Chains A and B, each alone.
Chain A
């Protein structure tokens, strides 16, 4: 009887949660589907019927892709950046930023975990302290420093600014590197491998899965970010920056209207969705706070 009650109790919670989660999922997917449907409508069709399927499918994507561009004034020179170039800028910004940030974090964490010098503990403490101590409003100072070092207006400048070892992922790499069996490294040393060989041929291959996961997360974060490009590389607009500009800075009539906005939004999001669908198991499975599953 008691057992029956417990099972009954559990199923009630299960069903309540199921209803809440299903409602959440339907709302989320519903809004995304609405955006996709709207992106295929003509403006007149949308005005008459802002919900449900389009009466006639309009290929707004072609118009947005061909017509949309951002006007950039840089070094007294006026030029236009089209969508293809924005994609290219996004790839360069996100791929470079994710690669350098992840590799610096990974290698620094590995070295701190495997080399028991006193300075390793100092760096580990620095990461923890900087995570706990919040610093607010230092962006103006960062702009000043970046400008003084000549890093603004260059995509590679943003890579340098972000290629640090701080943050949660240092701890994840640190714990993983610490948990690696010493026998791998001892055997390599007996075979005559030096520290560089051990790093490149043993440690990094062992850390490969985790590196890929963190790099993917960083890549998505960089791809989605538009506020940092808006400040540091306004001359190299990325695709997310382009979406911001599309929403607030655009003046041409050809691209006016909600269907065009939705088509632009879908064009921005397609590469990220593709990356997510390909790698969602890696993205969702590998990380815990302060450790690795």
Chain B
């Protein structure tokens, strides 16, 4: 019986293990090798070099445009923490308490998550550039030289606003579902001890939701390096503002079909991964050490 179960077990796991070996281990190992390669497609010769890493490192540390790209990524992540998480938790608490229209708000908050980004961006872009401009001019007498998304002074703010405005869905859903799993007896006991309203949220619900929050926080670190802030949907490959994620995607797309350009992109990826990995572990460690306890 055990032998037959083992046979079944092996057969079932052949595909997942093979897929993992090729598309995770193989792809990442190849990406690592690429970062050190110089591919001469003309003579079909590949040599190993540190130049890609050196060049990428120099550009990251000295190029003002790259400095701005990194700053944009950090601002985007910071704002999502400062605005998105507190509001997301409060929205989730509202829904969890089943206050007026909670069910409708739950659906509405999740709605942007199910819409294709390219569609949401298109609608938002033309709304801001046409209807909002029209309303401001007609009813408030305010004119802007360019639309909010075209004006260099306002476009980053307008793109950030869109990201925060449409970014509540999944986190609110997960927080609410976690809050719903809190034992009602704990809340009852809290009420008897005088913890109602905001006290209940702060002293009971928040600590018990904290494990879910920490997962979002430390797995969210990678978004500093991968989030495109929907820039590709707003401006295609012609955006004047960049994030690291956008820069990597556009570089990949430009390199596609020209293998000799792959190593440069892989070198950026390797350097950013070297920053992202320890950063994630530091944040995880700090959150676990200094965060509130479920007990």
Binding site for B on A (CB under 8 A): 2, 6-7, 9-10, 13-14, 17-18, 20-22, 24-25, 27-29, 31-32, 34-35, 38, 46, 50-51, 104, 107-108, 111, 115, 117, 119, 123, 126, 130-145, 149, 160-161, 163-166, 194-196, 199, 220, 223-227, 230-231, 240, 243-244, 247-248, 258, 261-262, 265, 268-269, 272-273, 276, 280, 283-285, 287-291, 293
Contacts and interface: CB of A to CB of B under 8 A. Distances in A.
A143 B94 contact: no
B64 to A, nearest CB: 21
Contacts of A119: 13
Chain A CB within 10 A, most for which of B97, B116, B174, B198: B116
B110 A284 contact: yes
A4 to B, nearest CB: 11
A145 B123 contact: no
A130 B273 CA distance: 13
Interface string B214-225: 011011011001
B57 interface: no
Contact of A145 (B23, B115, B131, B194): B23
B178 A289 contact: yes
B16 A35 contact: no
A146 B242 CA distance: 28
Contact of A141 (B12, B111, B244, B266): B266
B146 to A, nearest CB: 16
Contacts of A225: 116
B22 interface: yes
A243 B16 contact: no
A268 B211 CA distance: 37
Contacts of A31: 123-124, 127
A136 B231 CA distance: 18
Interface of B: 4-6, 8-9, 12-13, 15-17, 19-20, 22-24, 26-28, 30-31, 34, 87, 90-91, 94, 97, 99-101, 104-112, 114-119, 122-124, 126-127, 130-131, 133-135, 165, 173-174, 177-178, 180-181, 194, 196-198, 211-212, 215-216, 218-219, 221-222, 225-226, 232-233, 236, 244, 248-249, 252-253, 255-256, 259, 262, 265-266, 268-270, 272-273, 276-277, 280-281, 284
26 contacts: A18-B94, A18-B99, A20-B87, A28-B108, A34-B123, A111-B12, A123-B13, A132-B218, A132-B281, A137-B31, A137-B268, A141-B262, A141-B266, A142-B27, A144-B30, A145-B26, A165-B19, A243-B116, A243-B118, A244-B118, A262-B122, A268-B116, A280-B107, A288-B177, A289-B211, A293-B181
Contacts of A149: 22
B12 A261 contact: no
Contacts of B226: 134, 136
Contacts of B218: 132
Contacts of B106: 284
A252 B273 CA distance: 43
B167 to A, nearest CB: 12
Given A137-B248, A226-B118, A258 B130 contact: yes
Secondary structure call for the A interface: helix
Contacts of B114: 220, 224, 272-273, 276, 283
Contact of B23 (A17, A161, A195): A161
B123 A265 contact: yes
B168 to A, nearest CB: 8
A153 B151 CA distance: 38
A13 B101 CA distance: 15
A21 B101 contact: yes
Contact of B180 (A104, A115, A143, A293): A293
